Amino acid sequence: MKRTLQSLVGGGLLAWAVALAPLPANPQPALPPPPAGSTTPTGAAEVRQFTLSNGMTLIVKPDRRAPTAVHMVWLRVGSMDEDDGQSGVAHVLEHMLFKGTQELKPGEFSRRVAALGGTDNAFTARDYTGYHQQIPAERLEDVMRLEADRFANNQWPDDEFRRELEVVKEERRLRVEDSPRALMFEVLNATTFLASPYRRPIVGWMSDLEAMTPEDARAFYRRWYTPANAAVVVAGDVDPAEVLKLAERHYGRIPARPVPPRKPQGEPPQRGPRQVEIKAPADQAFTAMQFKVPRLTSFESTRENDDALALSVLDAVLDGHGGARLPRALTQGADRVADSVGASNGLWGRGPQLFTLTGVPAPGKTPEQVRAALRAEVDRVAREGITEAELQRVKTRWIAAEVYKLDSIFSQARELGAYWAYGLPLDSGERLIRRLRDITPAQVQAVAARYFGDDQLTIGTLRPLPLEKPAAPRQPPPGARH
The residue ranges of every structural domain in the chain are: 12-22+41-250, 274-465
pLDDT band of 30, cuts 50, 70, 90:
very low
Helix (H) or strand (E) run with residue 48 in it: strand 48-51
**290: part of which helix (H) or strand (E)?**
strand 286-293
Rounded to an integer, the average pLDDT of 74-99 is 98
Give pLDDT tens digits for 196-246: 999 999 999 999 999 999 999 999 999 999 999 999 999 999 999 999 999
User: What confidence score (pLDDT) does residue 471 get?
Assistant: 56
Residue 474 has pLDDT above 90, yes or no: no
d(CA 248, CA 331): 56
The domain defined by 12-22+41-250 folds into: Cytochrome Bc1 Complex; Chain A, domain 1 (3.30.830)
Do 12-22+41-250 and 274-465 share a fold?
Answer: yes
Per the rule left: phi > 0, alpha: psi between -120 and 50, beta: everything else, 272 is left
Q: What is the mean pLDDT of the chain?
A: 89
437: how many CB neighbours lie within 10 A of its CB?
10
**Contact between residue 317 and residue 444 where contact means Cβ atoms under 8 Å apart:** yes
- Under 8 Å CB-to-CB from 91, ≥6 apart: which residues? 14, 15, 79, 124, 168, 202, 203, 204
Q: Which CATH architecture has domain 274-465?
A: 2-Layer Sandwich (3.30)
Classified as helix, coil or strand, 274 is strand
Reply yes or no on whether the pLDDT at 33 is more than 50: no
Active site residue 390: no
User: Which pLDDT score is estimated for 406?
Assistant: 78
Q: What does the pLDDT read at residue 132?
A: 98
- 171-185 pLDDT tens trace: 999 999 999 999 999
Digit-coded pLDDT (tens) for 327-364: 999 999 889 999 999 999 999 999 999 999 999 999 99
Dist CA 305 CA 297 (whole Å)? 7
Cα gap 466→283, rounded to integer Å: 8
What pTM value is reported for the model? 0.88
Active-site residue, selected from the candidate residues 82, 94, 147, 248: 94
Between 36 and 86, name the one with better pLDDT.
86
Tell me, what's the pLDDT at 7? 41
* Predicted pLDDT at 200: 97
**365-397 per-position pLDDT tens digit:** 999 999 999 999 999 999 999 999 999 988 888
Phi-psi category of residue 469: left, alpha or beta, with phi > 0 → left and psi -120 to 50 → alpha? beta
pLDDT for residue 164: 97
Q: Give the bridge partners for 75, in sequence order.
A: 129, 230
Beta strands, E only, 125-214: 129-136
What's the pLDDT at 44?
A: 53
Torsions phi, psi of 28, nearest 5? -60, 135
